[in-house]
Amino acid sequence: MNAMVDALWLIPALPLLAAGMGALTPRRGRRFAAGVAIAAMAGALVLSCLALRSALAAPSAHLFHNFRWFDLGNGVVELGWLLDPLSALMCVMVSLVGLLIFIFSLGYMEADENFARFFCFMSLFAAAMLGVVVANSLLLLFISWELVGLASYLLIGFWFHKPEAAAAAKKAFITTRIGDIGFLLGLVWLYDATGSLLLYDGGSGVLEAGVLGNLGTLTLASGLAVSTAISLLIFCGAAGKSGQFPLHVWLPDAMEGPTPVSALIHAATMVAAGVFLIARVFPLVSYDQVLTADPVHALTVVAFIGAITALLGAAIAVAQSDLKRVLAFSTISQLGYMMLALGVGSWVAAIFHLLTHAFFKALLFLAAGSVIHAAHHEQDIRRLGGLGRQMRTTYATFAVGMMALAGVPFLFSGFWSKEAILHAASEWGVSRLPLYAGLAAVVLTAFYMTRLLCEVFWGSPRSPEAAQAHENRGVITVPLVILAIGSVALGFLGTPAWPWLQSKLTGEAVPPHSLLEGGGLMMLSIVLVATGIGAGWALYGRRVRASADAADPFAAAAPGLFSFLGARMKLDELYAATLGRMNTFGAAFSDFLDRWVWGGAVGFLALLGEFTGSVNTEVDESGLNAGFNSFSERIRRLGRAYSGAQSGEAQGYLRTVAIAFVVLALLVLLGGSR
Amino acid sequence: MSHLQLCLAFSSVLFAVGLTGALARSNSILVLLGLELMLTAAIMNFIAFWRFGPSHAPATGVIFAVFAIAVAAAETAVGLALVISVYRHQRNIRLPEANRLRG
Amino acid sequence: MNAVLVIIALVTVGAAVVAMSGRNLLHSVLLLTVSWAGVAAFYLWAGAEFVAFAQLLVYVGAISMAVLFAVLLTRRSRDDVAAPPASRSRGIYAILSGAAVAAVLLAAVSLAPLSSAPTPPPSVTVRQLGDQLMGPHAASLLVIAALLTVALIGAVVLAAGGSPGNPEDEP
């Protein structure tokens, strides 16, 4: 078991190695790059399964392996990785879904000339995501977090010559960055308060009882507990990455990337990283529940934001006409559900829903990708139609995914995971609002998914692209089938009758209840699902839209509401008007300062320097040099005068000597000694 | 005037004559001859003092005079060689014309 | 006052004066030889026979020969032995300088406290001279020998004049 923990680093290392090799491959080495990436993911999957096996053997243990990275003054910065059921399950999910999406991409991206670069970036993303999952140190987690953001930027902007794609990549990165600032502040504060960033460290880890107890005693001036403040800051990062309101605006735009990217990153894994983060540090985030003096509990904020997001996402999805945008807002809504589950205290339900959502959302995106690939990149659902007959496998698997997402009871995994969430929400003591929001979203989810299914697959083709669409090759359809199987099977791991997942995740044995546990709530949600599907069928299925230009039935019924929702509740415009304007003003002000104030000061100093320099030159030239020159000139003249005495005439010299001798002799005779 | 003084006066006059000749003439050989006269006068002083002055080492005066004569001979030889060398360049031996080492 | 001395002095000085002011170079050289002989006579009068003979040998014998050779080698034609007298100003300056020097020297001679007591002539045999030369004054002898050698070589080099047969040296 210890060997498994020590080797845990291989799980993210294999895709990272594949990314490195892919980076060095030239454009024509497409098969090599793809092969290396898929092999690495397969290897990671194998290792993840082994890790899961050893983690499940002792589910309550958090096995870790820490090592010293570098010394920082008195403190030591350590990194490490963690093996427990949560991280093992996440590893298996990421590597399995990732592997299937990689295989799908072989078919989907084959026409693209940047094939090798695609797989390199995808491997980088997989490595970073697995790094987030296995990290035992919040520092290592943050580093991997940022790498995930980088990979997302590179992949959203994969077709960078399209201005919309480049803008979307920039928007995604900046929006998540805003969240990451909060995350980093939280980490720094945590390190300052506890002296460590390790999660489990044999007693001194941040999630362990001793350290948490010490942290709990710290409060701010306003009475807010420090642990609450840190938890809220960490939640900022999670909210950014997981597309919670108000930082959700990047997710719909991120659909500019290739569909496999949307499937992997923006459905199954990266957006789930925020949920995973909160679940990972749940002991810290939930600690303030015991502090009665705390004005705000962190999890309350999480629950409400999750509820708002769930409702908001579902509402906007109803009015979207782009295939991938509907799925994007659906993802936002489901992420809201997960955050809601965390907020009301059941992180197990959140993780359960995360796992099932990964499968059926990836399935839905890949099926959408299959449709897009077959219809020559026609994504407007008003211009599709009749594909049910032309693309049978895709239709069947899409239907499975749709039913799982909508929460069709008993058979599909989405029903059980959503039930767990609603059950937990109903037992929350603080407020019933999240429960009501969740129930409302159930209706909307069923409604818009039915609408999507009817518009795309029923009726007859409404455009030439849709007419010529035919089923894709096996390399595209087989992953769809596998994911469909997963969307069904996974649900049975968490039913109340057999709470295998719950007990394994918490490490405690959860007693099995009857299958219809929480019967009233379950009945209610089944009724709501039926209502949603029924309404959807009534509006879109009974009389399928005849042509692309025909009005949407909902739009005909409530045009104002429809256009408001269609414009994403105008939140982007709101941000542009307020924050965008503020930013522009700030930039202009900085430019002014830079140009006139700082630039002026620097220019003034430069002038001063120039003036000093010229004075110096002047003194040097006319003062020193001139003086020196005149002095030398004088000596030269003196020398010339003396040299005039050299007549060259030997007799002249002799005469001079004779006269001198006479003078000397006279001096001696008349003056000196006798 | 004692003998010594007379001898010394004799050599002084000879010296002055030599000097005058060396200064007055422009022929290099005559200038050299004037220099020889001056040297001869100086050597005469030695002998004068040897004869009439107090003598502690009688041979020294003679030896000195002999050496001086030898030196004078050498100097004359070199001087005459110089004159010949100058003649080769100037084609005459007028001393004032050999003033190229002027400043 | 010894009449011999006076005569010797007059002859010597007179010959020197005429030599120095002569117009013919050869005459000047020969007259100067007479002057040197007069000096040798003075040495004999003073009792320094060895020096007298040395004077005759060197000056009258060798130096005058050398000077004559130089005179003959530095004339452009057979009759070019004229030594024109100096210009007026040069002569005046020379005479003045000479007179000044003579005056100073005579003044020094007459004012010096020299003893006028008659002293017997010191006797120095040639043998004694030889012993002195080889003994205490051996070093000086060697130096003089070296000097003469160097002077000889130098004079030869100077007079011969650079590398023989150099075509660029031809006038």
Q: Closest approach of chain A CAs to the CA of C39, in angstroms?
A: 23
* pLDDT score of A673 more than 70: no
Tens of pLDDT, residue by residue over A65-123, are 888 888 877 777 888 888 888 899 999 999 999 999 999 998 888 888 888 889 999 99
Of B24, B36, B48, the CB nearest to C86: B24
- Bridge partners (DSSP) listed for residue A198: A137
Question: How far apart are alpha carbons A291 and A296 in whole angstroms?
Answer: 10
For tokens 């609408």, the residue is: A451
Tens of pLDDT, residue by residue over B46-58, are 999 888 877 667 7
Of A642, A644, A649, the CB nearest to B96: A649
Tens of pLDDT, residue by residue over A545-555, are 777 777 777 77
In sequence order, the 6+-apart residues with CB closer than 8 A to the CB of A399 are A453, A457
> What rounded mean pLDDT belongs to chain A?
86
Asked if A289 and A299 touch (Cβ cutoff 8 Å), the reply is: yes
- Bridge partners (DSSP) listed for residue A460: none
B23 and A655 within 8 Å at the Cβ level: the answer is: yes
**A429 in contact with B, Cβ within 8 Å:** no
Mean pLDDT to the nearest integer, B67-95: 91
3-state SS, residue A601: helix
Which is higher by pLDDT, C122 or A90?
A90
Interface predicted TM-score (ipTM) of this complex, two decimals: 0.90
For tokens 């295998």, the residue is: A500
A644 and B19 within 8 Å at the Cβ level: the answer is: no
The full 3-state SS of chain B, as one line of letters, equals CCHHHHHHHHHHHHHHHHHHHHHHCCEHHHHHHHHHHHHHHHHHHHHHHHHHCCCCCHHHHHHHHHHHHHHHHHHHHHHHHHHHHHHHHHCCCEHHHCCCCCC
C93 to chain A: closest CA residue: A655
Q: Closest approach of chain B CAs to the CA of A654, in angstroms?
A: 7
* pLDDT score of A5 more than 60: yes
**B98 in contact with C, Cβ within 8 Å:** no
Mean pLDDT to the nearest integer, A629-636: 90
Query: pLDDT grade, residue A518 (50/70/90)?
Result: low
In sequence order, the 6+-apart residues with CB closer than 8 A to the CB of A298 are A227, A228, A231, A232, A235, A285, A286, A288
Asked if A95 and A41 touch (Cβ cutoff 8 Å), the reply is: yes
* pLDDT score of A671 more than 90: no
Give the whole-number percent of chain A exceeding pLDDT 90.
34
Which of C28, C63, C65 would you mutate first to test chain B, the one with the most B CBs within 10 A? Answer: C63
Query: Nearest CA to A349 among A494, A523, A512?
Result: A494
Query: pLDDT grade, residue B39 (50/70/90)?
Result: very high
* pLDDT score of A330 more than 90: yes
Per-residue pLDDT, B66: 93
Asked if A323 and A466 touch (Cβ cutoff 8 Å), the reply is: no
> Which chain B residues in 29-58 lie under 8 Å from chain A, judged by CB atoms?
31
* pLDDT score of B14 more than 60: yes
Asked if A85 and A56 touch (Cβ cutoff 8 Å), the reply is: yes
For chains A and B, count residue pairs whose Cβ atoms are closer than 8 Å. 34
Cβ-in-10-Å burial (0-12, 13-18, 19+) of C155 comes to buried
Mean pLDDT to the nearest integer, B81-99: 87
Question: How far apart are alpha carbons B34 and A320 in whole angstroms?
Answer: 133
For tokens 């040197």, the residue is: C36
Asked if A341 and A417 touch (Cβ cutoff 8 Å), the reply is: no
Which uninterrupted H or E stretch holds A27?
Answer: none
Per-residue pLDDT, A609: 94
In sequence order, the 6+-apart residues with CB closer than 8 A to the CB of A592 are none
Question: How far apart are alpha carbons B44 and B77 in whole angstroms?
Answer: 21
Q: Percentage helix, strand, coil, to 5, in chain C?
A: 75, 0, 25
Asked if A262 and A255 touch (Cβ cutoff 8 Å), the reply is: yes
Which uninterrupted H or E stretch holds A324?
Answer: helix A323-343
Tens of pLDDT, residue by residue over C79-97, are 777 777 777 888 888 999 9
* pLDDT score of C162 more than 70: no
Which of B3, B4, B8, B30 would you mutate first to test chain C, the one with the most C CBs within 10 A? Answer: B30
Cβ-in-10-Å burial (0-12, 13-18, 19+) of A269 comes to buried
For tokens 């005779």, the residue is: A669
Query: Could you tell me the CA-to-CA distances from B103 to A123, A340, A574, A589 in Å, in that order?
Result: 91, 110, 97, 77
Mean pLDDT to the nearest integer, A19-48: 88
Asked if A386 and A460 touch (Cβ cutoff 8 Å), the reply is: yes
Query: pLDDT grade, residue C75 (50/70/90)?
Result: confident
Mean pLDDT to the nearest integer, B92-99: 84
Return phi, psi of residue A80, to 5°.
-175, 175
Per-residue pLDDT, A500: 77
Q: Closest approach of chain C CAs to the CA of A674, in angstroms?
A: 8
Q: Which of A131-140, A157-166, A213-222, C49-58 has the lowest mean pLDDT?
A: A213-222
Cβ-in-10-Å burial (0-12, 13-18, 19+) of A203 comes to exposed
Give the whole-number percent of chain A exceeding pLDDT 70.
97
B20 and C97 within 8 Å at the Cβ level: the answer is: yes
- Bridge partners (DSSP) listed for residue A72: A75
**B86 in contact with A, Cβ within 8 Å:** no
For tokens 């030695």, the residue is: B46
Cβ-in-10-Å burial (0-12, 13-18, 19+) of A578 comes to exposed
Tens of pLDDT, residue by residue over A263-313, are 988 777 888 899 999 999 998 888 887 777 777 788 889 999 999 999 999
Chains near C, with 3+ CB pairs < 8 A? A, B
In sequence order, the 6+-apart residues with CB closer than 8 A to the CB of C41 are C8, C11, C12, C52
**B17 in contact with A, Cβ within 8 Å:** no
Which is higher by pLDDT, A294 or B17?
B17
Asked if A536 and A402 touch (Cβ cutoff 8 Å), the reply is: no
CA B10 to chain centre: 15
Tens of pLDDT, residue by residue over A124-178, are 999 999 999 999 889 999 999 999 999 999 999 999 899 999 999 999 999 999 9
In sequence order, the 6+-apart residues with CB closer than 8 A to the CB of A416 are A352, A356, A491, A492, A494, A495
**B42 in contact with C, Cβ within 8 Å:** no
Highest mean predicted confidence (pLDDT) among A454-463, A500-509, C18-27: C18-27
B25 and C121 within 8 Å at the Cβ level: the answer is: no
In sequence order, the 6+-apart residues with CB closer than 8 A to the CB of A37 are A15, A18, A19, A22, A102, A119, A120, A122, A123
Which is higher by pLDDT, A45 or A62?
A45
Which of B45, B46, B47, B97 would you mutate first to test chain C, the one with the most C CBs within 10 A? Answer: B47
CA A357 to chain centre: 18
Q: Closest approach of chain C CAs to the CA of B63, in angstroms?
A: 7
* pLDDT score of A645 more than 90: no
**C20 in contact with A, Cβ within 8 Å:** no
Of B19, B22, B99, the CB nearest to A649: B99
Question: How far apart are alpha carbons A528 and A530 in whole angstroms?
Answer: 5
**A649 in contact with B, Cβ within 8 Å:** yes
**A658 in contact with B, Cβ within 8 Å:** yes
User: Which chain A residues are Cβ-neighbours of B102 within 8 angstroms?
Assistant: 646-649
Query: pLDDT grade, residue C35 (50/70/90)?
Result: very high
**A632 in contact with B, Cβ within 8 Å:** no
Question: How far apart are alpha carbons A532 and A555 in whole angstroms?
Answer: 17
Return phi, psi of residue A257, to 5°.
-75, 170
Query: pLDDT grade, residue A381 (50/70/90)?
Result: confident
Per-residue pLDDT, A516: 64
Q: Which domains does chain B have, with CATH numbers?
A: 3-97 (1.10.287.3510)
For chains A and C, count residue pairs whose Cβ atoms are closer than 8 Å. 25
Query: pLDDT grade, residue A357 (50/70/90)?
Result: very high
Which uninterrupted H or E stretch holds A9?
Answer: none
User: Which chain C residues are Cβ-neighbours of B66 within 8 angstroms?
Assistant: 50-51, 54
Of C51, C63, C159, the CB nearest to B84: C159
A648 and B100 within 8 Å at the Cβ level: the answer is: yes
Query: pLDDT grade, residue A672 (50/70/90)?
Result: low
Question: How far apart are alpha carbons A327 and A368 in whole angstroms?
Answer: 9
User: Residues in chain A whose beta carbon is closer than 8 A to a beta carbon of chain C?
Assistant: 651, 655, 658-659, 661-662, 665-666, 669, 674
Asked if A197 and A187 touch (Cβ cutoff 8 Å), the reply is: yes
- Length of chain B as a residue count: 103
Q: Closest approach of chain B CAs to the CA of C31, in angstroms?
A: 11
Mean pLDDT to the nearest integer, A212-239: 83
Angle at A328 between CA A325 and CA A333, to 5 degrees: 130
State the amino acid at position B66 in one-letter form.
V
Mean pLDDT to the nearest integer, A200-204: 77
Tens of pLDDT, residue by residue over A555-614, are 777 777 888 888 888 888 888 888 888 889 999 999 999 898 888 999 999 999 999 999
Q: Closest approach of chain B CAs to the CA of C32, in angstroms?
A: 8
Cβ-in-10-Å burial (0-12, 13-18, 19+) of A29 comes to middle
Chains near A, with 3+ CB pairs < 8 A? B, C
Per-residue pLDDT, A517: 62
Per-residue pLDDT, A276: 93
3-state SS, residue A222: coil
Asked if A132 and A141 touch (Cβ cutoff 8 Å), the reply is: yes
Which is higher by pLDDT, A579 or B81?
B81
Angle at C63 between CA C61 and CA C66, to 5 degrees: 110
Q: Closest approach of chain B CAs to the CA of A639, in angstroms?
A: 10
C104 and A658 within 8 Å at the Cβ level: the answer is: no
CA quadruple C75, C77, C83, C86: dihedral sign: negative
Question: How far apart are alpha carbons A528 and A439 in whole angstroms?
Answer: 8
Tokens encoding A166: 């480049």
